[in-house]
Structure 1
């Protein structure tokens, strides 16, 4: 059974109208050709779905040299396909260039010489068929080059995103001192800014014992003690809470962690465990 050539497999995989009805029937019957088309189709799909709209830039010359070395290709395809792309020659042109001329006269040496010439001519197609699977068509090379360029572009995009993304910074901290009813408790607090104005409060608390039926709540309290804001419930020994954008931390500088009974009252219970003032130095 003769298989589809590399050029035709690559074009079919890219959705080009290159296959005849006979080729399509062959793909249904031949598992090897169907598997090659499926593999190349996945590569083409990833490349198309990952590239933004606009003109594609040619990959650097060293990309092709790395592909060439990785695949162990021959020196016949060492040149970068992006710098010199020629349309593939037709099957008839290939055969006419490689096959001996049909009009060549028979040697005067007689039947023996003619027999040797016929044998050489018959061997030539078999030689082409033997080396053909190792040849890579220009379309196949373009898919490989595009895949390598895509990997490079994705890697560069990740590096740029990491480089340009603002890093989080600690802008304030506080040591949280224990109240007399909780002498063994101690805590710390810090305010982080992610670089885009979003702030978070992270607290840690050690040395307290949670009483059954109670929970711990984290608060920001104004310096004069006349207003406070609940940030949430502290379930573990540490927790991180979003500070609302409207909160002025120059006013709400006190961080408080309290025991709260499950009584449906959202107000502060008055049973503070630890408290401390944020230092913005």
Structure 2
């Protein structure tokens, strides 16, 4: 099935209006596009709704301009989604929705840069000023020292057959607030069209938990609350086809057992 381009989904979400009949029909029929669209709508709503709830000011439009340029987004996304929108009191009718470009085939997961840009805009609107004030000394000098995380455990990740050149390492860290995360470093490429997914697995392989996709050579993943790492001590990175199946493919690249440090 062809899909709506990620830039077009972002435009629809930023407009805040109901998609036209063709786009609506596709979203109703395509679970993947609908999931992406709904996530973008929630992100935009969060950013717009939270910009002033805590008394913080929205960041200047130059922040969005920098994000737009850095991620190479489409020209339709150049307008700051958090900037105040002027009211046209002379207008009697709602503006027509923007047309959606023809559907074209594209690799899945291509919407991540657009969603990331929207998320960054929303986060900056809510906490940008607060971070700036908290991070600087009263004299406007260097940022104040930040609390460091504590390393709880680590694992060397050994390669599986067929991935003989792969090497990896995983480290479990706990932040000052008690939140745990796993930092995974991996030197292994996968065939075009596949992605790399990080898992926690029980020692007897009776259960597993997906932590997310590894983009690039290193990534940080939050450990879900309630997960006992003594019950899920194995860190696994698998090669996954983008086929919509959330189960482990069975094609592990590397795996290692966490040990306390």
Please, what TM-score do these two structures have when normalized by structure 1? 0.42
Determine which structure has greater relative contact order: mean sequence separation of CA pairs < 8 Å that are 6+ residues apart, divided by chain length.
2
Larger fraction in helix: 1
Q: Which has the larger radius of gyration?
A: 1
Q: TM-score, normalised by structure 2?
A: 0.45
